[in-house]
Amino acid sequence: MAKITKRSPLAPDEFPKLPMIAGVSFAAAQAGVRYGGRTDVMLALLAPGTAMAGVFTRSATRSANVLDCQAKIGTPAEAGAAIVVNSGNSNAFTGRAGDESVAAICAAVARTTGVPETRVFTSSTGVIGERLPHDRIIAKLEELEAGLSEDAIEAAAHAIMTTDTFPKGAAASFSRDGKTVSIAGIAKGSGMIAPDMATMLVYVFTDAKIVQPDLQAMLSELTGPTFNSITVDSDTSTSDTLLMAATGVSGVTIPAGDAEFRAALHSVMLDLAHQVVRDGEGATKFVEIRVTGAANDADARTHAMAIANSPLVKTAIAGEDPNWGRIVMAVGKSGAAADRDRLTIRFGDVLVAENGWVAPSYREEDAAALMKEPEIFISVDLGLGAGTATVWTCDLTHGYIEINADYRS
Amino acid sequence: MAKITKRSPLAPDEFPKLPMIAGVSFAAAQAGVRYGGRTDVMLALLAPGTAMAGVFTRSATRSANVLDCQAKIGTPAEAGAAIVVNSGNSNAFTGRAGDESVAAICAAVARTTGVPETRVFTSSTGVIGERLPHDRIIAKLEELEAGLSEDAIEAAAHAIMTTDTFPKGAAASFSRDGKTVSIAGIAKGSGMIAPDMATMLVYVFTDAKIVQPDLQAMLSELTGPTFNSITVDSDTSTSDTLLMAATGVSGVTIPAGDAEFRAALHSVMLDLAHQVVRDGEGATKFVEIRVTGAANDADARTHAMAIANSPLVKTAIAGEDPNWGRIVMAVGKSGAAADRDRLTIRFGDVLVAENGWVAPSYREEDAAALMKEPEIFISVDLGLGAGTATVWTCDLTHGYIEINADYRS
């Protein structure tokens, strides 16, 4: 089994200090689903009235947990809610047994916490195709319930890690009417437990009072420029899940589309998304790709993702090679509109190519110096219209091969 | 600069014995475009009446040579034709200078051979974004013209290599009306000269007599199940070119869609396509992916390509890991129709998964033994309809990273 212990060179120095969110309590435990000597299950209990919103993988082979969460998202909020997440086994592609595991966990959580089954949300991440030993999780529910604390979000962030090299958290807050509204979130992603694919799980909590449709609308909209604008290796998990809970305990009511709340939520989601990229398998470079001047925003995104997912671009960045020819290649193959002779390419502030050829002012040593930095900025202007998009990715290194070409057993 | 000298472990033992094609003669020379001590330019001269067909990259940033070839494909055949190919410099993304280089070479070839400029086809492969030193090619044209021989196709196959680890050739022939019709082709591909992308160039020759529209129709149709069904790393060159010449010198007229000719041409194209995969950068495994039971053929192809291009699938194969969970993931993310619980997956003859879960008969040691072979067969049945597709790829190894993450300078 692949064992990754080295903290990503792109990791933040430490886990951030996250505010407590009134109406949410957390606990973590060692259930021994697959790992030994570490926590691998977390419970979050949410106050009555909590609105739940969610965004899920569009994979046609998504896991039993994802299907169950999707079915429950719109259920009435009065009874509160619970979230249970385990690492070590994804319960994906486990047939009918997978559905049975989800049902068994939800029933047991309902018995232990008093939250109805229709308000219990589960995620599983880890090995796929092996039956989830859900009894091990159920056996820990009383311990989890007894240990619930408003100040345990960091423990929850640790329990959901697979081969993530650091726990991921982010927060934002603002004042309104003399009260403070807080948002805090945790995530795991881009770590790999052989033989699984990289799964991204994200849980965001706020004490704001927002009705479910408004919360869902904001969460769905903000997923586009955040979690759906990152890519490590273009592969999509069967378990990707983003859940958001608004407890309302702050007493501050947030109307639909509130700009201040939207900005705060955007910052938390973007921060977590960037941390997922910074923990990309084998990553040594954090790369921002900004496309402007495309025929429209959709075309800009197509170009940006073609660049971000190109193995040739990603290996060039790993080699600190300012290989702009590969950017031209990726734009050309993307399928979106482009005119070779209107392309402008920059690395950071260095103008690399324009008018269909290398810029007269370009000196390779300038670009080569930028490529040695841990953060790389690539901008491409198509010269065609007003479409823009920004995406983030990492490089493709020997580390990625090492993590993913290892034997599973 | 990356220097790859080791012959691919998947290479054939030797260059095949190719038949001479009446009406085509070849020559190769050392022009010193970029490389020293090897041939890097080839000339093929085609008899009057030769019909030319072509299929080209759809890249929006395609090279000046490609644009020029596309414009000339349908010109009248009476005057014959010439093909000039250089390696070492792709003349791609070189702005107006790129067009000037193509025009200069075509004019010089016309002067030397008597073939009109409108029938001179050029390809360039190698470094991109640097001006092609076309004078070095032009300076060799008289030597090339003097050295033309019907028996020099292998020399031509060598001259077009970049970091290919072996020259690629294939042939087929059949009898009709007491005469023999022959087809012979050469290709380069998936080799990399830093900092270029992998470019595939293919030249196929026959002595059959076919009118241009019929030749073009057959070539275009057969590109789908051959060259467009292989992938090394999902990146598409700005220079990909497939040219076919039918000299007619055999005197055998081939009508539109002739089944025997079609089968012979298919075998040559498929053989060359497979050789390109076998020389994939860093490849240690040749992988066939067959999808059946899809809603339609287009869906089958989408699934097959999603599997073939998945970095997680390709690294698992590199690690000889029968990681069928990653196949499920790739099918799920492809965007084409799939039902998790109807999927059937096989490695070779080993039934791995069915009915949404691992097969009861599955023993990992059986699949693990198959994964140690140099040729891997993966089949996926969707259980939805009659759509089928087969594609070929290679694994993703440290060798790929080594070749592509090297410094350009």
DSSP codes, A66-130: HHHHHHHTTS-STT-EEEEEEEEE---S-HHHHHHHHHHHHHHHHHHH---GGGEEEEEEEESSS
Kindly report, residue by residue over A134-172, the tens digit of the pLDDT. 999 999 999 999 999 999 999 999 999 987 899 999 999
- Does A311 contact B235 at a Cβ distance shorter than 8 Å? yes
**DSSP per-residue codes, B98-156:** HHHHHHHHHHHHHHHH---GGGEEEEEEEESSS---HHHHHTTHHHHHHT-BTT-HHHH
Q: Report d(CA B341, CA A131) in Å as an integer.
A: 15
Residues of B in contact with A235 (CB under 8 A): 310-312, 326, 329-330, 333
The annotation status of A199 as a binding-site residue, yes or no, is: yes
Residues of A in contact with B324 (CB under 8 A): 129
Quote the DSSP letter at residue A253. Answer: B
Question: What is the per-residue pLDDT for B57?
Answer: 84
ipTM above 0.85, yes or no: no
- Does B129 contact A235 at a Cβ distance shorter than 8 Å? no
Question: What is the per-residue pLDDT for A198?
Answer: 53
User: What residues does A126 pair with on adjacent strands?
Assistant: A88
Question: Which domains, from first to last, does chain B contain?
Answer: 24-278 (3.60.70.12), 286-404 (3.10.20.340)
Average pLDDT over every residue of A263-267: 95
Residue ranges of E strands in A295-386: 344-347, 350-354, 357-358, 375-381
**Angle at alpha carbon of residue B285, lines to B284 and B288, rounded to 5°:** 160
Residues of A in contact with B59 (CB under 8 A): 329, 332-333
Six token digits for residue B254: 């081939």
Kindly report, residue by residue over B250-262, the tens digit of the pLDDT. 999 999 999 999 9
For residue A363, the tally of other CB atoms under 10 A from its CB is 10
Per-position b or e across B29-43, b if 16+ CB within 10 A of its CB: bbbbbbbeeebbbbb
B171 at A interface, C-beta within 8 A = no
- Does B92 contact A325 at a Cβ distance shorter than 8 Å? yes
The residues of B that are catalytic are 199
A363 at B interface, C-beta within 8 A = no
Average pLDDT over every residue of A201-208: 96
- Does B404 contact A312 at a Cβ distance shorter than 8 Å? yes
Cβ distance B407 to B194 under 8 Å? yes
At residue A24, what is the residue type? V
**Does pLDDT of A199 surpass 90?**
no
Per-window interface: A 326-355 vs B, CB < 8 A: 326, 328-334, 336-341, 343, 353, 355
Query: Of A95, A50, A74, whose CA–CA distance to A206 is shortest?
Result: A50
Kindly report, residue by residue over A9-20, the tens digit of the pLDDT. 999 999 999 999
- Does A60 contact B337 at a Cβ distance shorter than 8 Å? yes
The low-confidence residues of chain B, meaning pLDDT below 70, are 1-5, 190-199, 233-236, 406-409
Cβ distance B251 to B179 under 8 Å? yes
Question: What is the per-residue pLDDT for A332?
Answer: 85
Q: Report d(CA A325, CA A195) in Å as an integer.
A: 35
Per-window interface: B 192-231 vs A, CB < 8 A: 194-198
If you average pLDDT over every residue of chain A, what do you get?
91
3-class DSSP state for residue A141?
Answer: helix
C-alpha distance from residue B320 to each of A223, B298, B324 (Å): 36, 29, 12
Average pLDDT over every residue of A319-327: 90
Question: What is the per-residue pLDDT for B409?
Answer: 34
